[in-house]
Amino acid sequence: MIDKVRVRKELMEYLLELAKSFYPNEFAGFLRERDGVFEEVLIAPAGHFGRTSVFFNTWMLPLEHDIKGTVHSHPNHVCQPSQQDLWFFSKFGGIHIILCYPFTPADVRAFLSSGEPVEIEVVP
């Protein structure tokens, strides 16, 4: 069982900036992992980014084996997955990162598809 996720420092900084730039709307993306570390994000293609949800066509995602997780923002202070988040997590597997307002490193949480929290380690 996974108890920790490793995220490259540059990626974490970029994700926080994305969340701030999309605010007051949510954003969503898919995380690429290489050698056990999340290194890149693919922003959800051709979607709708609203205040309470994100919609996109999963058929437009590239077929890549190194996409191992998702990320999305919550433009509120709730850093727990909603019922809709848990449904989404169940469809994509892997690790799921939520960034909450005001989008600082302390406002980031990671979860398994089950909704169980996991620790985040930011690496150089």
**58 part of a folded domain:** no
* pLDDT score recorded for residue 3: 87
**124 part of a folded domain:** no
Looking at the structure of the chain, the number of domains it has is: 1
At residue 115 the predicted structure's pLDDT band, cuts being 50, 70 and 90, is very high
What pTM was computed for the model?
A: 0.86
* pLDDT score recorded for residue 27: 85
| CATH assignment at residue 87 | 3.40.140.10
Find the domain containing 39 and state its range. Answer: 4-43+66-119
Q: Which of 14-28, 47-61, 98-112 has the lowest mean pLDDT?
A: 47-61
**80 part of a folded domain:** yes
**23 part of a folded domain:** yes
**60 part of a folded domain:** no
CA geometry: angle 32, 81, 65, nearest 5 deg: 20
Q: State yes or no: pLDDT of 84 exceeds 60.
A: yes
* pLDDT score recorded for residue 52: 57
DSSP secondary structure letter of residue 42: E
Q: For strands 108-112 and 95-100, give the pairing.
A: antiparallel
DSSP secondary structure letter of residue 52: S
**49 part of a folded domain:** no
